[in-house]
Structure 1
């Protein structure tokens, strides 16, 4: 008998013994492994559930960068092919009422979330509350007082995107959201989920294009109205004609059509904080697989998407802008992302 046949017979016998042992319980009634290398047992995993309010963004390759002319000759977003791994992303911007849940939980958590803030009793009110004064101080000779009084506090605006939140507060929100979810999962014997975080600039742009490579806008383009003449986002059409899209200021989230990934308001409504520090040469510096530019000493952070007060140029998927991480405005909000753990073949979902 050949060695090959002997080895084959031995392998079949070993498999038969393995199944026989499993049939009597996991290697016996007491989980004994009989000295065999079987790995640590009891770690069954059925895959990641989609977090509430998020959509699945499949892995893929696309061309980042300017999708149309660069009229201001910024030369800060050259075209480049990159690959993005699978991740989850909020289908809308974080709303006033969602952010309010965060404020309430941190305030009433009786020390449970002190590890997130840890800067004294006044930190929540002083640093995490939305800055409502942005509605009056961001604009000269503007009657913003009604929005100062009502935009954050009144239930009429619960489903509108939160504004007046700086990059640092958005980071704390992500840490709280992670702890809030995983505290529940651990208490119920489930594996923890990856951290919520701000999307990288590359992830944001990839998600905004919705699988349409080189798309000028999340809906494709090149126009800002559909075939019926309806505006496709909340921005500033023309010169001072803010209401032409149906809303003078912000709009309720998901008031316009989603892109092909199921994401709303990736252009317009409010611009959005990204994780990356801003560098005009970042495109040439970062890697071409899941790129991100981190610099803890750089106070400028990337902002994407354009807002209700912007012209259409800033709505383009390839337009880069930035703001100081401590700045609060009436036109900047955020949404969260979460890394997908598993296959990266593009069809993991």
Structure 2
């Protein structure tokens, strides 16, 4: 009897499955063939302020001088995948967006924690919005109110320390009030006062944000270590980062002994006169954190758009590898010592083509024939771009790359997208030369390095974003 029932049930399930497949085919107009619904070509959206660098092969290394023994850039032919690259170094105004975001997120988190300690329920849509309660945590739903998913997370106690971070979302829609005379209530004032230097540390009563609190946290995965160990848990290669992201403005004083550079220390990063100058005083770790922020910032903006279902997360922003940097700096020219070609550092009118130190003790390069130049950094786009449309790939400020420095890296690395892993390395490759360097360091093949924890008044950075091979992109060459 049981066998008969079992057979009948099996036949019934089989008929039901066949009926479902038949119905699905008629409703979806599917003829049973598995085909791709996407186009064979994809056109990526070019990020603002970036230019596309096409894939290609080039001769890497020192091709114009015959060095012996000290040459750390031997000639080698390599192939590089295409990518987008910032046409200028990251400027003070661009990095200020990062600093302000961190400042606001810290203030909002502190306000939300205070509201929670006072009993404001983050999932209650009737939270008092006249005071600090308006800054309580909200749900991740479109309207910010609680959902069954939020309730599930609270009941399941998933996540570290029994707390899932998805249950706490900062309320970014509520405007922050920074005017101390317009604070909505005493609790709000207590939290916001903690964002500033304490009274005993203030100068002449000047009330300023305590930059020591501006810490940014993010998570990465060590892909190199994970690739070596198969079948292990992803959490084993998860790395948590938390660091202060405020630029070290004291570099202007520390980098030059017996030199009066205090005005640069006081004004360079925040004064609006320097808004379009390259940011400096940023170490390698801070530059990497900016890349993570830029990716998160872009993705958040896309997610907030109305057509969420059509949005695709952006490919991560990152620092360029050393080889990508040199490839881009050459601007499509082969065997040329400088981004503009060469062999000279000045044009036919005698004007220098980059911001650098032209003579011993002379930091003022002549740019327009009127004896005016730049003693320190220059505004971005002051000098002409290279063939790919990239500015200041020589001079102005040197630039961090994602590659660790090794004198033998050109020999050790692959010929396909060469790079040396950065895990555990402290000395990172720096390229391009700067405003305080001589002409030799402006050569596209010249290599230099700095410790990743060091910040300098002559080192900045720019970011890149990869795009898939075969993407439909309009490349423009600059004469």
User: TM-score scaled to structure 2, two decimals?
Assistant: 0.62
> Deviation of residue 73 (structure 1)?
4.9
Equivalent residues of 2:102, 2:214 under 8 A apart: no
> Deviation of residue 44 (structure 1)?
10
Equivalent residues of 1:48, 1:193 under 8 A apart: no
Q: Does residue 175 in structure 1 map to residue 292 in structure 2?
A: yes
In the alignment, the residues of structure 2 paired with residue 79 and residue 132 of structure 1 have an alpha-carbon distance, to the nearest angstrom, of: 38
In the alignment, the residues of structure 1 paired with residue 467 and residue 361 of structure 2 have an alpha-carbon distance, to the nearest angstrom, of: 42
Equivalent residues of 1:67, 1:317 under 8 A apart: no
Aligned to 1:334: 461
CA 1:27–1:42: 2 relative to 1, 3 Å: farther
CA 1:148–1:275: 2 relative to 1, 3 Å: same
> Deviation of residue 105 (structure 1)?
1.4
CA 1:121–1:150: 2 relative to 1, 3 Å: closer
Equivalent residues of 1:59, 1:346 under 8 A apart: no
Aligned to 1:312: 439
Equivalent residues of 2:214, 2:245 under 8 A apart: no
> Deviation of residue 68 (structure 1)?
2.8
Aligned to 1:51: 47
322-331 vs 103-112, which moves further: 103-112
Aligned to 1:343: 470
> Deviation of residue 43 (structure 1)?
8.7
In the alignment, the residues of structure 2 paired with residue 44 and residue 31 of structure 1 have an alpha-carbon distance, to the nearest angstrom, of: 22
After the TM superposition, which segments of 4 or more aligned residues of structure 1 sit over 6 Å from their partners?
42-45, 344-349
Aligned to 2:28: 31
Equivalent residues of 1:151, 1:157 under 8 A apart: yes
In the alignment, the residues of structure 2 paired with residue 163 and residue 70 of structure 1 have an alpha-carbon distance, to the nearest angstrom, of: 33
Aligned to 2:215: 123
CA 1:316–1:42: 2 relative to 1, 3 Å: closer
Equivalent residues of 2:249, 2:281 under 8 A apart: yes
Q: Does residue 243 in structure 1 map to residue 364 in structure 2?
A: yes
How many residues end up aligned between the 2 structures? 317
CA 1:66–1:200: 2 relative to 1, 3 Å: same
- After superposition, give the CA deviation of every residue in 1:253-308 in whole Å (9 maximum; x if it has no partner): 01000000000000000000000011110000111111111131110000000000
CA 1:158–1:348: 2 relative to 1, 3 Å: closer
CA 1:346–1:51: 2 relative to 1, 3 Å: closer
Q: Does residue 294 in structure 1 map to residue 421 in structure 2?
A: yes
Aligned to 2:74: 78
The 5 A counterparts of 1:1-349 are: 30-39=27-36, 41=37, 46-69=42-65, 73-109=69-105, 110=108, 122-124=214-216, 127-188=244-305, 189=308, 190-245=311-366, 246-343=373-470
Rg larger for: 2
In the alignment, the residues of structure 2 paired with residue 163 and residue 72 of structure 1 have an alpha-carbon distance, to the nearest angstrom, of: 34
64-73 vs 245-254, which moves further: 64-73
SS of residue matched to 1:184: helix
In the alignment, the residues of structure 2 paired with residue 204 and residue 79 of structure 1 have an alpha-carbon distance, to the nearest angstrom, of: 16
Gaps of 5+ in 1: 1-25
Aligned to 1:14: none
In the alignment, the residues of structure 2 paired with residue 33 and residue 107 of structure 1 have an alpha-carbon distance, to the nearest angstrom, of: 53
In the alignment, the residues of structure 1 paired with residue 33 and residue 67 of structure 2 have an alpha-carbon distance, to the nearest angstrom, of: 67
In the alignment, the residues of structure 2 paired with residue 197 and residue 285 of structure 1 have an alpha-carbon distance, to the nearest angstrom, of: 23
Equivalent residues of 2:99, 2:214 under 8 A apart: no
- After superposition, give the CA deviation of every residue in 1:206-253 in whole Å (9 maximum; x if it has no partner): 000000011100000000000011000000001111112411000000
SS of residue matched to 2:244: helix
The structure whose RCO (Cα within 8 Å, separation 6+) is larger is 1
CA 1:156–1:73: 2 relative to 1, 3 Å: farther
SS of residue matched to 1:97: helix
In the alignment, the residues of structure 2 paired with residue 347 and residue 176 of structure 1 have an alpha-carbon distance, to the nearest angstrom, of: 27
In the alignment, the residues of structure 1 paired with residue 304 and residue 39 of structure 2 have an alpha-carbon distance, to the nearest angstrom, of: 16
Alignment RMSD (CA, Å):
2.7
In the alignment, the residues of structure 1 paired with residue 243 and residue 314 of structure 2 have an alpha-carbon distance, to the nearest angstrom, of: 30
Gaps of 5+ in 2: 1-23, 110-136, 138-164, 167-211, 217-241, 367-372
SS of residue matched to 1:272: strand
Equivalent residues of 1:57, 1:87 under 8 A apart: yes
In the alignment, the residues of structure 1 paired with residue 332 and residue 356 of structure 2 have an alpha-carbon distance, to the nearest angstrom, of: 23
User: TM-score scaled to structure 1, two decimals?
Assistant: 0.84
Equivalent residues of 2:251, 2:456 under 8 A apart: yes
CA 1:60–1:312: 2 relative to 1, 3 Å: same
